[in-house]
Amino acid sequence: MEFVRFARKSGCTALLVTQMAKRGLSGPKMVEHVVDVVLVLVKQANGSRVLQVTKNRLGPAPVALRVEMTSRGLQPMQILV
Phi, psi of 44 (to 5 degrees): -90, 165
- How far apart (Å, rounded) are the C-alpha atoms in residues 51 and 36? 16
- How far apart (Å, rounded) are the C-alpha atoms in residues 74 and 67? 6
Domain regions of the chain by residue span: 1-35, 36-81
Alpha helices in 11-51 (DSSP H): 30-34
Closest by CA to 68, choosing from 32, 35, 37, 44, is: 44
User: With 60 as the cut, is the pLDDT of residue 45 above it?
Assistant: yes
Tens-digit pLDDT profile for residues 12-37? 988 888 776 666 555 556 777 778 88
Report pTM.
Answer: 0.69
